[in-house]
Structure 1
Amino acid sequence: MRFDSVPMPAAVEARPRDGRGYPVPAITPWEGGEPRFALTDHARSAECARGRCCSVCGRAMPPGAVWRVVGPAECAAIADALAAGLPYRNLAPTTEGPGHRACMLYASMVCPYLALPGARRGQSAAAPDALTAHVVRGAARGAVGAVAGFGEFEYAVTGERVLFRFLDLVEFLPYERAEAQLAELRAELDRAGG
């Protein structure tokens, strides 16, 4: 599915674009006038966390649930907990910030790495460590991803990164190919009025 055929949330529509027309997420760093999509800008991520702003569009998120895109390992852990009738608990921190439901559904569909099971990372983490060792150029996304909603999140800003933890799962939308999220995105945009 082409990125320009995916309905765009109004807040994302207002974002700067790269040369191909892709909207640039709020936490994406710029280098030499070009966005570095696979990387996260520490200052922008910290600003979004402190202001309770969406990591995709950069606008304020209302009180209540927040969403994020999760990879195969966390997706499997959530599915296993739900199948066993248990609450999902993951207290491991992540560097991936939260966002609006529409923004995360949109991101899951237009980011080539998030959208397809065979997609590969285009860049490695700037300074890999225990949290980002998996962020390696050429690494495949894996079979299943999900957009997950959480009742709340916590964050800590360190000198090198912003760490997030997500609590109280409220929604779980697994997908193999993100185009399966199209109906959810359209319904969310209709509900939110764009």
Structure 2
Amino acid sequence: MRFDSVPMPPTVEVRPRDPRGYPVPAITPWHDDQPQFALTDYDRSANCARQRLCSVCDTLMPRGPVWRVVGGSESAAIGEALAAGRPYRNLAPTLEGPGHRACMLYASMVCPYLARPNARRGLDARSPDDMTAHVVRGAVRGTLGAVVGFADYEFAVTSSQVLFRFVDVVEFLPHDTADAHLDALRAELDQAR
């Protein structure tokens, strides 16, 4: 599915664009007037965490559930826990912040890496602490991704990174290809109108 055929949340429509027309998420750093999609900007991420702003559109997330897109291994762990009737809590922190449901459904479909199991990373996103050692050019997303809703999030802003943990799964939307979420995105946008 082409990114320009996916309905865009109004708050994403006003985001800056890269030369191809992709909207640039709020936490994406810029270098030489080019967004660095594989990386996360420390100050922008810290601001989003502290002020409860969506990491995609940079607008306030109301109290209540937050969403994020997860890859194959975390999607599998969440699915297994839910199928066994066990709670899921990610004990390992992540650098990826939360967002609105519509923004994360949208991101899952337009980000080539998140959208398809055979997609490969175009850039490295290594951090000095090895938290992102697996995020290297050519890495494959793998089977099943998911858009996951959580009751809330916790965060820590350290001297070098912003870390997130997510509490209590409230919605689990797995996908092989993210276009499976198109109807959910349309319904979410219709409800917001």
TM-score of the superposed pair, with normalisation by structure 2: 0.98
Instruction: Within 5 Å, give how 1:47-62 maps onto structure 2.
Output: 47-62=47-62
Gaps spanning 5+ residues in structure 2: where? none
1:127 positional shift: 2.8
Contact kept? 2:149, 2:169, Cα under 8 Å: yes
Residues 128, 142 of structure 1: CA spacing in aligned structure 2 closer, same or farther, 3 A cutoff?
farther
Contact kept? 2:126, 2:135, Cα under 8 Å: no
Show the counterpart of 2:108: 108
CA RMSD of aligned residues (A): 0.8
Contact kept? 2:126, 2:132, Cα under 8 Å: no
Show the counterpart of 2:192: 192
Question: 1:52 is matched by which residue type in structure 2?
Answer: R
User: Which stretch shifts more, 21-30 or 80-89?
Assistant: 80-89
CA distance in 1, matches of 2:140, 2:129: 19
Contact kept? 2:126, 2:136, Cα under 8 Å: no
CA distance in 2, matches of 1:121, 1:170: 29
CA distance in 2, matches of 1:136, 1:43: 23
Show the counterpart of 1:22: 22
Gaps spanning 5+ residues in structure 1: where? none
Instruction: Within 5 Å, give how 1:134-145 maps onto structure 2.
Output: 134-145=134-145
Show the counterpart of 1:64: 64
| TM superposition outliers: structure 1 runs of 4+ over 3 Å | none
1:113-151 per-residue CA deviation (whole Å, 9 max, x = no partner) reads 000100001111243533111111100000110000000
CA distance in 2, matches of 1:84, 1:130: 32
Instruction: Within 5 Å, give how 1:89-128 maps onto structure 2.
Output: 89-128=89-128
TM-score of the superposed pair, with normalisation by structure 1: 0.98
1:30-54 per-residue CA deviation (whole Å, 9 max, x = no partner) reads 0000101111000000010011000
1:160 positional shift: 1.1
Question: 2:93 is matched by which residue type in structure 1?
Answer: P
| Aligned residue pair count | 193
1:53-84 per-residue CA deviation (whole Å, 9 max, x = no partner) reads 00000001000000000111111111111111
Contact kept? 1:115, 1:179, Cα under 8 Å: yes
1:142-178 per-residue CA deviation (whole Å, 9 max, x = no partner) reads 0110000000100000111100000010000000000
* Partner SS for 1:171: strand
